Every structure is written in C-alpha cells, then in structure tokens.
Chain A
Amino acid sequence: MATTSAFQPNARGYYGEFGGAFIPEMLYPNVEELREQYLTILADPDFQRDYQQLLRDFVGRPTPLFEAKRLSARYGTRIFLKREDLCHTGAHKVNNTVGQILLAQRLGKTRIIAETGAGQHGVATATVCALMGMECIVYMGKTDTERQRPNVERMRLLGAEVRPVTSGSQTLKDATNEAIRDWISNPVDTHYIIGSVVGPHPYPDLVARLQAIISEEIRKQLLEKVGRELPDYVVACVGGGSNAAGAFYHFLDEPSVKLIAVEAAGKGIKSGHSAATSVLGKPGIIHGSRTLLMQDEDGQITEPYSLSAGLDYPGIGPLHAFLGASGRARFISIEDEPALRAVAELSRLEGIIPALETAHALAALDQIGAGPEDIVVLNLSGRGDKDLDTYLKYAEQMH
C-alpha cells in the first residue's frame, strides 16, 4: 500500500489542527491498543493476503471504471464513474468492514459493534461478521430504523442484532454515541467498526487506508484507458467522508488533480435544514475528534438535515476539514432537489440508478468547471435500491 506524505496524520492523529483522540479514560486502553497496532497489522503480508483475497473474491474488486459517454456529452467533459455501487452489499462501505474484521481477529476480539445511519455500513458490517462467524450488534437511530426498514431486515437476516437508539434525535449521531457507550461497557472483547473517517485517532486514518483501494484502482484503470494515471478532477460526496477519502487518497499529493467534495445542503444552506458542515460548521469536538461540526453558540451539537440518511452527519472527518482549510479540496453543497434530479438523469442516460448520497456528487458536475479536454472521475459510491421509496415519492410529486 503506497503512502502519501503531506496529508498523513502526525503521531497524535492530527491533520493540521484537526483530529486527535478526545476520549474518556474508559476508552483509552482500547483506542491505544488500536493505535499501537493498526499500522503493523495493515502492513503484515498475512493481513494483506487475506484482505486482497476478500476484496477480490468476496467484494468483487476491482470495481470497473466506466466511461459514461452520454453523461459526458451532457456536461461537455469526459466523465468516468468508479463503480463502487457494484461492490458486494451495494456500496463502498464493505471495503472498510472487510479490513476491520480482519484487524479485529488479529486483535483477538470476538464481538463486533457498529453504528449505522442509512444502514449501508450496518449491512456491510453484518455481512463480514456472518462471513467470519462473529457476534454483531448494530446501533441505529430509531428514526432511521423506520425510514430504512429493508436494511434493518437485511442485517437481521445476516444474523446481526439491530439495537434501535432512542436517545437524542434518534439518528446517526446518536447511534454513534450509543456504539461508543457499548464499547465503554465492553472494553476487552469488543472491536468497534466505525463506518467513516471519523472518530478518535487512529480511526480516520485506518478507514481512509482501507478505502484507499478505490483511488489505487482508479490510477491503474485510468492509465489503461487513457494513458495517464492522473485525472483532472475527482468528485465524491461527503457525509463523514469515507468514500471521498478513498477516492482522494492516492491523489492527495498530486496537486494537478482537483479534489471536489460534495456535501448535502438539505433544504438550503440558510434554511436551518442542512448538513453542509464545511459551510455551517465550526471547529469543535465530536465523537472523539477535533473537526468542523455543526453546533450552536454554546457548543451543543445540532441536528443536521438531508433527505439522504447517509449524509446527515453533523461533522466531517478531520482529513476533510483539513483538506478544506488548506484549500486542497473544494467543497460544494447540493440541495435535496437537484440531487433527486441527478438520480433521474443518471438512470436515464447511463442505465445506473445511484444512491441518493452519490447523487449529490453527480449534481455538482455542472459546477466544477471541467472542460472538454478534462478527465473527471466521479466516485459512484453506492446503488440506489435502498432509496427507491424516496425516488418514487419524488416522482409522484413531479406529476
């Protein structure tokens, strides 16, 4: 696994002023154990053999890099879609859970916990736990269990226990709180598989490294297809930011590659119903990390809104906060409505129904400034099956 330099966290887990590990003492030994061992385990040939084999034979990697010609014609540039929607379980999330379950085994853990919002990470975690015969408990906000019912059933079918979370606003933020509380209560036998590049160090780096396979493949595939490894633009949606971290990773130190991170503006930046953390957030601490987060003037964390359950997180990963602050990445916010229009557009132009999260990245294509000679890689992070109800409701409103 190649590493990049300028955008790696320092020894204390900081990207610039963002990152760190702000955790109660009860979590300290767990997080410290992980910090001390993750790089060694990830570099171990035995781990790499198992990880690569599972990515190939179980996940179905490499995922294709597909030149979307009709979409390209529509936007007057050359667009390639990185087909993470074709991963087993339907999204990029499984790249991380495959790696973390192997890590958990090597740490001697027997019980797995996870948080989930839309349910994609929960399903990906339940899937690898079934594969490895490990106990799996998924925390999910009660509101989300109701609006993402099919994913709850999938997790249960896979043998996981889904625990609806009734504290706070009953969504992803609260599910994460509850998973952390479970870890506090079960410090010895349990590994917490965080689903995004958030949480205390080393999680943001761990998850970014496990998702980095996305950009590793993009470079090789682009070289085969167009004779150069570097695109002009890489576009990805950002909730916590795991698919963007994976798509950006091997381009971070390539300044010619413009990195575009697309957030959910919900009903509009100024509407009070938004999840555009890079615009609305201030530095603070959420889930053990110093990063940008949406909060009121008293430092109470506020509830974000997006029609997409995978983007309504009140923070962003510390790497992304740093990419924004340093100017390395450009952030664009997309509202619900244009995202929904982008779903219909990609479906009809390319025969691909994208996830609502991914649709935010698609809806930003006319804002990135790409010209006819440019090569744009858009990370198609997930497929849209889970969002069909939302899409149908929107289609009805349009008639």
Chain B
Amino acid sequence: MNRIQQAFQKKGKDLLNIYFTAGYPTLDATVPLIQTLAAAGADLIEIGMPFSDPLADGPVIQQSSTAALANGMNMRVLFRQLQDIRQTVPDTPLLLMGYLNPVMQFGVENFCRQAAEAGVDGIILPDLPLDDYVNEYQEIFRRHNLKPVFLITPQTSEARIRRIDELTDSFLYLVSGPGTTGGQNTQSEGVQEAYFERIAAMNLRNPRLIGFGIGDKASFARACSYAEGAIIGSAFIRALEGAEDAPAAAKAFVSSVLH
C-alpha cells in the first residue's frame, strides 16, 4: 500500500488536500510550506510545478506560476529542494502536479526517478492523454512506484470513468464543474449534487477528492459530504499573496478550513 492509500485508509473521510505552486511566494518557500501544511493538518499535499502556459488554471495559479518562474523555479531546483523532505515530513502523501511539456523536456524517466528518490507518491499531469499514459508512461511510473491521478469532469462518460478508475491506485480527482481552477461555479447546486451522487453511486475502487472552486470551511465541508475529501488550491495561494510570513499564513489558512 502506498502513502496515498494509507492516508485514505487511516482517515476515511474529510481529507484535505492542499495545492501550492513550488517557488511561490519565494523560491525557498517550497520546503517550509510543505512542513507547515503537514503539521497544520493537510492530509495530502500537491506541489505545483510552474509552467508558462497552464491551460487548465485560472488567473490565481497562472500568476503564482509566473512569479515562481521569475523567482528561478525549475525542475532541477525543485528536486534539489525536495531531496531531504522525507526526513521532516515522513508520512504525508506528496504529489507533483504540472503540465507535460516541462516533464518531457526534463525526460520522463529522469523525472520519475528523481521524484521517487525524493519520496514523491503521485503525479498529476492534466494534459497527459490517457492512451499516451497507458502506452508510454505507465511502465515507467510503475517501476518508480509513482501513482497517477486523473481528472474527471461532469462531462466524462461512465465508460471513461470506469477506465480511469481501473488505471488508478490513489484517488480520483473530481473537477467540481465547468471551468478552470479557482473559478466560481456557475452551475446550480442541484446539477452539481446530481453529478457527485452519480459518481458516488458508481461504486468505484478509488476514493474521490473534489477540486476546483473549493476555498473555505463551508465549501470544504459541502464537498466532503459527497466525497472522501477535497482539494484547495487557488484560495490557498491567495492567502499566501503578499504574506510576510508564508508558513504562518499557511498555518492560519488550514486552521480556518478545518476548525
């Protein structure tokens, strides 16, 4: 069993997954933020690998990515920062989230090896096609014991959801509605509810986390009533914006969601 599965087994429900962009708000904030998030009660942590053209992201994550790149973040720096992370954060699942092009240029094998060496558990690459994953990446991921996470949207067909569930040994990332990260949900609560309940009724192998548009205690609690937990990204990054003490701001944010 991997760390992701252990986390779900241990807690079962109300899991909080926090996303942040590596190298934001300052280049060296990555490790202190992971340590603070884990200590403050985040059950999983997604480390965003900044990309110049993040198609699935809204303005907040775009801006944090631009800032992180300007701060000097890149894959080599990130893996150097993460090399000792498991000494201070032994159990919290860590996932790398980003776009395919920087991973391709770094080399998929090289990327997976260094991620595994750092103690990373899962990889989220929203623009990696499912067929390409199966044909070209799955074997490399398996060899390095890295778990892929795939996105599911209200438009994803049942057959495709079942296929994604089969390929997954971690959790399913339920995109809450149409839109990029951090967007306001334009669909009615009823429509969203029907979607979450439809997925819940499918009796899938993997637990589910709901993401996109979750940002505070109320939206987190509501998401948790339909799934095993939820993912917060943009709202957390907004909380770091302009903070003089990023770890203190992170701690306060997690506390505001959980308590």
A156–chain B nearest beta-carbon distance, Å: 24
- Residue of chain B at shortest CB distance from A297: B105
**A contact residues around B132 at 8 Å (CB):** 20, 22
A73 at the interface (CB under 8 A from B): no
A127–chain B nearest beta-carbon distance, Å: 27
- Residue of chain A at shortest CB distance from B74: A298
Give how many A residues have a beta carbon under 8 Å from the other chain's beta carbons. 35
Known contacts A25-B151, A285-B100; decide if A298 and B105 are in contact (CB<8 Å): yes
Q: When the two chains form their complex, are residues B178 and A168 in contact, meaning their CB atoms are under 8 A apart?
A: no
**A contact residues around B129 at 8 Å (CB):** 20-23
Which chain A residues have a beta carbon within 8 Å of chain B's beta carbons?
12, 20-26, 28-30, 167-168, 173, 177, 180-181, 184-188, 282, 284-288, 295, 297-302
Q: When the two chains form their complex, are residues A167 and B62 in contact, meaning their CB atoms are under 8 A apart?
A: yes
Binding site secondary structure of chain B: loop
Residue of A167, A168, A298 most packed against chain B (CB within 10 A)? A298
**B contact residues around A168 at 8 Å (CB):** 52-53, 62, 66
Q: Which 3 A-B pairs have the closest CB atoms?
A: A299-B105, A299-B102, A25-B151
B152 at the interface (CB under 8 A from A): yes
Q: When the two chains form their complex, are residues B74 and A26 in contact, meaning their CB atoms are under 8 A apart?
A: no
**B contact residues around A299 at 8 Å (CB):** 51, 101-106
Which chain B residues have a beta carbon within 8 Å of chain A's beta carbons?
51-53, 55-56, 58-59, 62, 66, 69, 74-75, 99-106, 126-129, 131-132, 150-153, 155-157, 160, 175, 178-180, 183, 186
- Option from B62, B75, B99, B178 in Cβ contact (under 8 Å) with A187: B178
Known contacts A22-B129, A23-B127, A24-B127; decide if A186 and B178 are in contact (CB<8 Å): yes
What are 5 A-B residue pairs whose CB atoms fall within 8 Å in the complex? Answer: A22-B132, A24-B126, A181-B55, A285-B100, A286-B101
B152–chain A nearest beta-carbon distance, Å: 7
Q: When the two chains form their complex, are residues B66 and A300 in contact, meaning their CB atoms are under 8 A apart?
A: no
- Residue of chain A at shortest CB distance from B154: A187
In the bound complex, CA of A185 to CA of B154 (Å): 12
B97–chain A nearest beta-carbon distance, Å: 12
Residue of A25, A284, A297 most packed against chain B (CB within 10 A)? A25
Q: When the two chains form their complex, are residues A300 and B179 in contact, meaning their CB atoms are under 8 A apart?
A: no
Known contacts A26-B153, A168-B52, A284-B104; decide if A184 and B180 are in contact (CB<8 Å): yes
B243–chain A nearest beta-carbon distance, Å: 23
**B contact residues around A184 at 8 Å (CB):** 55-56, 178-180
In the bound complex, CA of A302 to CA of B51 (Å): 11
Q: When the two chains form their complex, are residues A22 and B74 in contact, meaning their CB atoms are under 8 A apart?
A: no
In the bound complex, CA of A274 to CA of B153 (Å): 39
**A contact residues around B175 at 8 Å (CB):** 25-26
- Option from B102, B152, B157 in Cβ contact (under 8 Å) with A298: B102
Known contacts A184-B180, A286-B101, A295-B105; decide if A301 and B52 are in contact (CB<8 Å): yes
In the bound complex, CA of A23 to CA of B150 (Å): 12
